[in-house]
A and B are shown apart, each in its own frame.
Chain A
Amino acid sequence: METNLTQIHEVIEHHGTNREALVEILRDLSQQAGYLTPEALETVAAQLNLPAGEVHSVASFYSMINTRPCGEHVIRFCEDAPCHVAGGRAVWQALEQTLGIKFGETTPDNQWTLLPTSCLGLCAVGPVMMIDNDVYGNLTPEKIPEILARYTGGDA
């Protein structure tokens, strides 16, 4: 899904055209649309009266602002030390094997994008991942296929 002009106007209306709102505008747009196209960034730049390069540089800095297309569901897997010590590597490998893609990639059918994330603050139940806005903790490699199947109606 790409950003459309109405969305951009609505988000800017909400946050205002003050430069200080730029990070929040881009984050909200990215979350609504999945990712931001170069055209969307340029529209935001024009509205806020900023150089397009400036807006690009801010967008590319933050991990919650996507500037590349991604799949319908985004998996964010925590790979920081507490989850790693709790057995994260095996779960990570299970994710890559089940989906047939590596971290940073999207499945050919555009269903899944697999991303690493830094600490989600749920370390007491690590390893942890987020699928879209749902959180899963105490993961084991065995649980992965079943969890993924919830999103695809059983054919993951």
Chain B
Amino acid sequence: MIRARVLVSGDPLSLAHGAEAVKLTLETELAYYGLEQEIAVEYMGQTGREDVLPLVTVYPEGTLYGPVRPEDVPYLVEEHLYKGRVVSHLLAPPDFLPGKLAHLPGRKGAVYAQQRVVLRRAGSIDPQSIEEYIADDGYFALANAITTMTPAEVLQTVKDSGLQGRGGAGFPTGLKWSFVATRPEQTKYIVCNADESEPGTFKDRLILEGDPHAILEGMALAGYATGAQEGWIYIRGEYTQSKERVEKAIRQAEELGLLGDHIMESDFSFHIHVHAGAGAYICGEETALLESLEGKRGIPRIRPPYPTVSGFRGQPTVVNNVETLANVAPIIFHGAAWFRSLGTEKCPGTKVYTMLGDVNITGLVEVPMGTTLREIIEVYGGGMKDGKTFKCAQTGGSSGSMIPPSMLDIPLDYSSLQASLGSGALLICAEDTCVVDLAYVLMRFFQVESCGKCTPCRIGTLRMVEILDRLSQGQGSAEDIVALEEIAEHVRDGSFCGLGQAAPVAILTGLRHFREEFEAHVQGRCPADVCPMQPRPVAEAVSHDYLGF
């Protein structure tokens, strides 16, 4: 009989900080007190809390300790697990509790209520245990769908829920599925886009590592609804731990007959494979991803035909983001009306954000669609760091917009035209950030990651980097700003795929809201005092192609 559960953070960063030694010492010490039969020690996935690793959580109390070193463990076990007294000096500072740990009922004033759908289990179950997932209603939606619903009913429920793709574009998921469901071909595919590489975004990693079975269940439901028999998860090459966890989850599900042939003795068969990428931002674009999945250079395909008509191996294919798929099983489980009760009318549900930069609490937060940026910063971010003043937010990763203070109260969702949600990264910048410098860094990213297929993106991003570099050295002219804006518009309008079309958004919104700062650089002044504002010595000239390695 297990009376308590001790979870040790097992993400790569925690392991680098000695989480394995902490777990081993916990097990040794528990055995010393003869508690090994009643207290379970397990790894948990990403917690969203990265400042106090390794993190140790004791359930059912929900006590949070961190950072915990192996030498702290004997005392911790004796006091808390043997004698039942909280070790106050090891507690993680409550001011910084981000609320990423699913339930901490015992702590006062620490965690604000987030509405969690996607991250509901992350951090509260052992992601490597299918039993724990099942005990928490996992695979119930799939079982229910296969045994009591027709594929058309599953599809209709997802349509009715109003779920939109969480990868950035916000395309209605049910509609995408119906394009594939109505195709006459026998072979169809479900592809999970787990090539998360938008700078500042790590929500998919948390879902993959913290609740991998939710993705498998979502994919199987998508397969049932559309008539696909095979699923592929394209995981970013750098995410080695995510890949291992997902592969293990697939094996567990297959052993229990929840994936594979004749799932739950029905006529429905669904197999899932994992494919790891090899480092290319462009592969997050769905047609480039399909090329890469077929073993080729990740270069976008011409559209139409869209992947729903001719995708992986030329067959109709649904490509969905990790977070989108994580919403599917809860929708089937609770129904479309429940999902519509969250978020806004046009954009139901929740959104996972990664909050970074000059706020007191960085990490992941899941809030209903339509929550304002001000609320996210003040409530979940704990306000601006060191009493600084908010200057701008870069939303949606590198391809998102720059948001000035005047737009803090706009509800964030996919229907809002002024603020692109993108992948959900929120980079919060204080007054000591230079917009020109930020634009330079963002544009250099696109210049490096441009696949080179089309001219506007390949050449345009380089020209913009050069102009921004000149401005930061105090060598820019008024014509440079005009040219910058013109090139940005051309790249946005003339590029082949979403990468190029989104690349200049930060510059265009930056020019719209912070034009005077660009102009100040022309006059030889960096208002935030960040840019060098003098020519670089020739010997230190930056080569713009050093990434060609």
Contact = CB atoms under 8 A, between A and B. Distances in A.
B13 interface: yes
Q: Give chain A's interface residue range (CB within 8 Å of chain B).
A: 35 or more
Q: Which among A82, A118, A122 has the highest number of chain B CB atoms within 10 Å?
A: A82
Contacts of A103: 546
Nearest to A137: B13
Contacts of A115: 549
B128 to A, nearest CB: 20
B142 interface: no
A20 B238 contact: no
B13 A122 contact: yes
Given A123-B202, A136-B16, 10 more contacts: A27-B237, A64-B237, A81-B438, A82-B200, A82-B356, A116-B546, A121-B238, A122-B50, A124-B202, A124-B362
A21 B200 CA distance: 29
B293 interface: yes
B360 to A, nearest CB: 12
Nearest to B433: A85
Interface in A130-150: 134-137
Nearest to B202: A121
Interface in A44-63: 57-58, 61-63
A80 interface: yes
Q: Give chain B's interface residue range (CB within 8 Å of chain A).
A: 35 or more
Contacts, number: 144
A103 to B, nearest CB: 5
Contacts of A125: 13, 50-51
Contacts of B451: 61
Given A22-B295, A80-B199, A119-B198, A65 B398 contact: no
Given A64-B238, A81-B445, A124 B295 contact: no
A63 B292 CA distance: 13
A62 B548 CA distance: 10
Nearest to A57: B297
B167 interface: no
A68 interface: yes
Given A27-B278, A58-B296, A61-B280, A118 B445 contact: yes
Interface in B1-37: 12-13, 16
Interface string B223-265: 0000000000000011100000000000000000000000000
A126 interface: yes
B547 A104 contact: yes
